[in-house]
Amino acid sequence: MRTPVTELLGIELPLLAFSHCRDVVAAVTNAGGFGVLGAASHTPEQLEHELDWIDAHVAGRPYGVDLIAPATYAGKGEGGDPVGLWERIPAAHREFVDDLLTAHGVEPPEPPPVGRRRRPGLTEEHARDCLDIAFAHPIRLIANALGVPPDYMVARGKAEGVAVAALVGTRHHAVRQVEAGVDLIVAQGTEAGGHVGEVATMVLVPEVVDAVAEAAAAHGEEPVPVLAAGGIVNGAQMAAALALGAAGVWTGSVWLTCEEAETAPATKAKFVAATSGDTVRSRSRTGKPCRQLRSAWTEAWDGPDAPPALPMPIQSLISEPALRRVDRLAEGGHEGARELATYFVGQGVGMMNRVRPAREVVYSMAEEFAEAVERAAAFLEE
Amino acid sequence: MRTPVTELLGIELPLLAFSHCRDVVAAVTNAGGFGVLGAASHTPEQLEHELDWIDAHVAGRPYGVDLIAPATYAGKGEGGDPVGLWERIPAAHREFVDDLLTAHGVEPPEPPPVGRRRRPGLTEEHARDCLDIAFAHPIRLIANALGVPPDYMVARGKAEGVAVAALVGTRHHAVRQVEAGVDLIVAQGTEAGGHVGEVATMVLVPEVVDAVAEAAAAHGEEPVPVLAAGGIVNGAQMAAALALGAAGVWTGSVWLTCEEAETAPATKAKFVAATSGDTVRSRSRTGKPCRQLRSAWTEAWDGPDAPPALPMPIQSLISEPALRRVDRLAEGGHEGARELATYFVGQGVGMMNRVRPAREVVYSMAEEFAEAVERAAAFLEE
């Protein structure tokens, strides 16, 4: 099939798959879709390693990279001093986490010694290092997960012929992104996993398609393509997205229960069992509203006794070490850890009920897409 | 066109329009859709009057009625004693409303004298009276807006050949409704106006379609049709709904800015100006989570100093008289009242930017629907 996105990226199916797992990225790309490696928390060295591996496994087929190159972040202008950030965690927050873990039989992790406090990746220096690595590989797309991509990212995309994509949750942000020069807009509804706004996919996509068309018309240009994201885990939803005016879909959650996915096993099992009502939009992991599986961790942070979440990236300094330990213990069958375990996932989790190879998911989506379009067309013809 | 819903209801376009305004109901029915009169707060006498009017204006074309026949409600088993319900409003709640209105320059309304306290409509006796009126008219559908319809409603629909519809917000509730014998399920996503759950339309519709098909297969029956609801205000979204497996759409918000709509003028103006991010899901009007336009009223009730909302229907006893007064003052240009004014509306409000006759909206939706299906089919063929 052919849409403005299959044209732009040189793919057969307008299905983009965001995943932290290189195996998923390669499998989707090899099946005719487009894998996007989520690398926001990678070091430059890790990113290099992963992209080398992908290159060795996709035989030149197109793929992309997703980073966070933020405009603002806690500690900006302070040189990203890791020690300073750790010291900004209030005692009440440390105690809250320690008590929560202890109540579930999990021993709280110690903060790393000062000399080994890794710098959070949310700085310009880090983003530039990662961009250098990414552009040294044959990527076809670079995405910024949060906010307007910085000028240096847009300029480099243009110079090297790599499409720059950005995720938005409002019509207004879509217009700002187009004005900043992005080549592809991902309109992500509130039902998506990860950082999300409040407007649902069914409303956001036609709004953003309309806004992007208006902005283009004002400059006498062709509108950039819009991808729909949020809750999309099957081909009928892909058809719905295209009916709404999208040129393709951006997916994330559906790959977390694939055979290849590196999702913590206890969390994967929770995802397979979960209903669409089992997610929550909470600040408890990153400091910004993020949709994730409801668990004893999110319930406690959203409860009346919890301190307010800290700004990004400080909240992650307390949540990530705790939840990594939780994942390890949960894998060994630790009951309290299983109750706490959670991960980013969208409402589509209610339909993610089987563990399948990523390639099979791509093929199913293509088939379901064709069936859905034919069903709608048949209604029209009768 | 033909879908299981056009067959069931004898209509040309699978577009159901919920409205409290009889003119909208008649206009949509006359344009080939299906109007549903929202009569949850009507007295039996009012309902009789409205249905007589509709009969005189639709020349035998099909329409329906939407009621609330609730299974549980505050005051159940107490004979629905209106005096008792008024006395259950805590002093703190009265003071909160009085202070909020006063702060906006609106004089708080006095509670009505004991002898004139109208019984809230949420009792079985009231529902039975209204059903008698409705079934004495040539209705083709009766809907229950909240929860599983009571046995007497389902039985009467079957006996008189009138389709019984029910609104659901979860897959689980859809199965319960099918088991209770309803003929038509409305899967209503969180982006809808009024009483809504948390799951978005893009996820809920395929989930409910799947659940209804499974439940039918278990009994060796044909599945009942599913309508998609939530955020749907144009024909591209209607095409998306059908691609998701729905047999049609149920709409509400889009009719509130029609020429015919009886929406309070100041609120209509707010709707036309609002973005999709300007709604909020709040208990502040009815006691149950209800999506409505964000205003000084919802902000105050969702603020840290507000008392918790009272159970249905007690919250309405304090909110409705206050908001009726607000609407009257807002119409006269009262600044504080304009800030407070709000009404139920979904996220689709962001695309409701023009005041048009209802008939024109129906025709646009039919056209946009065809265009969207053709667009998706063209992607597939290339």
pLDDT in tens, A316-349: 999 999 999 999 999 999 999 999 999 999 999 9
Count CA atoms within 13 Å of residue A364 on its CB side: 12
A364 touching B, CB under 8 A?
no
CB contact under 8 A, A236 and B243: yes
Are the beta carbons of A191 and B207 separated by less than 8 Å?
no
Q: How confident is the model at residue B126 (pLDDT cuts 50, 70, 90)?
A: confident
Contacts of A240 in chain B (CB under 8 A): 202, 239-241, 243-244
Tokens of A231: 């809750």
pLDDT at position B76, please?
57
Residue B73, pLDDT score: 57
**Nearest Cα residue to A287 out of A263, A314, A318:** A314
Distance CA B71, CA B154 (A): 13
The whole-chain average pLDDT of chain A stands at 93
- Residues of chain B contacting residue A234, judged by C-beta atoms under 8 Å apart: 206
Query: Residue B301, class by beta-carbon neighbours within 10 Å (0-12 exposed, 13-18 middle, 19+ buried)?
Result: buried
Ordered by start, the domain boundaries in chain A are 1-80+119-261+356-382, 83-117+264-342
Q: What is the 3-state secondary structure (H, E, C) of A304-351?
A: CCCCCCCCCCHHHHHHHHHHHHHHHHHHCCCHHHHHHCCCECCHHHHH
Instruction: Report the range of poorest mean pLDDT among A166-175, A361-370, B112-121.
Output: B112-121
Nearest by CB to residue A202, choosing from B1, B206, B240, is B240
Give the separation between CA A19 and CA A36, rounded to whole angstroms: 6
Q: Is B172 on the interface with A (CB under 8 A)?
A: yes
* Across B164-193, average pLDDT: 96
User: Min CA distance, B125 vs chain A (Å)?
Assistant: 34
- Would you say residue B307 has pLDDT above 80? yes
Q: Which of residues 251-290 of B touch A (CB under 8 A)?
A: 275-277
Evaluate if residue B200 carries a pLDDT over 90: yes
Give yes or no for a contact between B166 and B144, defined as CB atoms under 8 angstroms apart: yes
Q: Which CATH entry fits the domain spanning A1-80+119-261+356-382: 3.40.50.300, 3.10.270.10, 3.40.50.2020, 3.20.20.70?
A: 3.20.20.70
| Å between B56 CA and nearest CA of chain A | 31
Report chain B residues whose CB lies below 8 A from the CB of A372: 243-245
Q: Are A187 and A198 in contact (CB under 8 A)?
A: no
Element (DSSP H or E) covering residue A45: helix A44-58
Check residue B313 and give its pLDDT: 84
Q: Is pLDDT above 60 for B82?
A: no
A240–B382 C-beta distance less than 8 A: no
Pairwise CB contact (< 8 Å): B190 & A171: no
Sign of the alpha-carbon torsion through A215, A199, B245, A362 = positive
Identify all chain B residues contacting A173, using CB atoms and an 8 Å cutoff.
none
Check the CA dihedral A94-A97-A100-A105 and report its sign. negative
- Mention every residue, 6+ apart, whose C-beta is less than 8 A from residue B65: B36, B37, B39, B47, B51, B134, B137, B139, B141, B142, B143
pLDDT of residue A69: 80
User: Best-predicted range by mean pLDDT among A86-95, B68-77, B184-193?
Assistant: B184-193
Binning pLDDT at 50, 70 and 90, where does residue B312 land? confident
Contact B314, B327 (CB under 8 A): no
Asked if A242 lies within 8 A of B350 by C-beta distance, the reply is no
Please write the tens of the pLDDT for every residue from A131-185: 999 999 999 999 998 789 999 999 999 999 999 999 999 999 999 999 999 999 9
Q: Does residue A171 belong to the interface with chain B, where contact is any CB pair within 8 Å?
A: yes
pLDDT computed for residue B74 by the predictor: 57
Strands (E) in A216-305, as ranges, are: 226-229, 248-251, 279-282, 290-293
Q: How far apart, in whole angstroms, are the C-alpha atoms of residue B24 and residue B36? A: 9
Instruction: Classify A143 as helix, strand or coil.
Output: strand
Contact residues on chain B for A203, CB-CB shorter than 8 A: 191, 231, 276, 346-348, 350-351
Which architecture characterizes domain B4-79+120-263+343-381 according to CATH? Alpha-Beta Barrel (3.20)
Q: Compute φ and ψ for A254, nearest 5 degrees.
A: -55, -25
Query: Cβ–Cβ of B201/A200 closer than 8 Å?
Result: yes
DSSP string, B8-77: HHT-SS-EEEEES-HHHHHHHHHTTSEEEEE-TT--HHHHHHHHHHHHHHHTT--EEEEE---S--TTTT
Pairwise CB contact (< 8 Å): B275 & A380: no
CB contact under 8 A, A231 and B202: yes
Listed residue (B237, B275, B190) closest to B368, CA to CA: B237
H or E element: which one contains A163? strand A163-168
Residues 47-106 of A with CB under 8 A from B: none
Q: Which residues pair with B129 in a beta bridge?
A: none
The answer to whether residue A158 neighbours chain B at the CB level (below 8 Å) is no
* pLDDT greater than 80 at residue B231: yes
Give the per-residue pLDDT at A291: 98
CB nearest to B382's CB, from A2, A207, A346: A2
Return the DSSP state at A222. Answer: P
Is the Cβ pair B202, A239 closer than 8 Å? no
In DSSP terms, which residues pair with B65 in a beta bridge?
Answer: B37, B142
Give me the count of residues in chain A. Answer: 382
Which spans in chain B are helix H?
4-9, 22-30, 44-58, 82-87, 91-103, 124-135, 151-160, 171-180, 201-218, 235-243, 265-273, 296-301, 314-331, 335-340, 358-381
With the C-alpha atoms ordered B110, B113, B118, B122, is the resulting torsion angle positive or negative? positive
For A120, A366, B339, the CA distances from B372, given in Å and listed in that order, are 45, 19, 38
Given this model, what pLDDT does residue A123 score?
77
Q: Report whether pLDDT(B154) > 60.
A: yes
What is each CA distance from B175 to A344, B144, B147, B151, B184, in whole angstroms?
Answer: 28, 15, 12, 16, 12
**Per-residue pLDDT, B77:** 56
Q: Does B236 touch chain A (CB under 8 A)?
A: yes
Quote the mean pLDDT of chain B: 93
* CA triple A165-A12-A260, angle to 5 deg: 75
Q: Do A277 and B376 touch (CB under 8 A)?
A: no
Q: Residues A111-124: pLDDT tens digits? A: 887 777 765 566 78
* Chain A hits for B382, Cβ within 8 Å: 1-2
Lowest-confidence region among B16-25, B143-152, B280-289, B352-361: B143-152
pLDDT of residue A78: 56
Q: How far is A196 from chain B (nearest CA, A)?
A: 13
Interface of A with B in 323-362 (CB under 8 A): 346-348, 350-351
Q: Which residues neighbour A266 within 8 Å (Cβ) at sequence distance 6 or greater?
A: A327, A330, A331, A337, A338, A341
Instruction: Give A244's contacts in chain B (Cβ within 8 Å).
Output: 236-237, 240, 372
Q: How far apart are alpha carbons B64 and B296 in whole angstroms?
A: 35
Cβ separation A191–B203 shorter than 8 A? yes
- Give contacts of B231 with chain A, Cβ < 8 Å: 200, 202-203
> How far is A91 from B221, CA to CA, in rounded Å?
61
- For residue B373, the chain A residues in CB contact (below 8 A) are 243, 373, 376-377, 379-380
Contacts of B241 in chain A (CB under 8 A): 240
Q: Which residues touch A40 (CB under 8 Å, ≥6 apart)?
A: A66, A67, A68, A121, A145
DSSP class of A16: E
Nearest to A240 among B243, B276, B350 (CB): B243
Residues B38, B25 contacting (CB under 8 angstroms)? no
Min Cα distance A177 → chain B (Å) is: 18
Task: Using a CB–CB cutoff of 8 Å, tell me whether A234 touches chain B.
Answer: yes
Are A188 and A171 in contact by the 8 Å Cβ rule? The answer is: no
Strands A279-282 and A290-293: antiparallel
pLDDT in tens, A93-112: 999 999 999 999 999 998 88
Quickly state the pLDDT bin for A382 (edges 50, 70, 90).
Answer: low
Give the SS3 label for residue A165: strand
A239 contacts chain B (CB < 8 A): yes
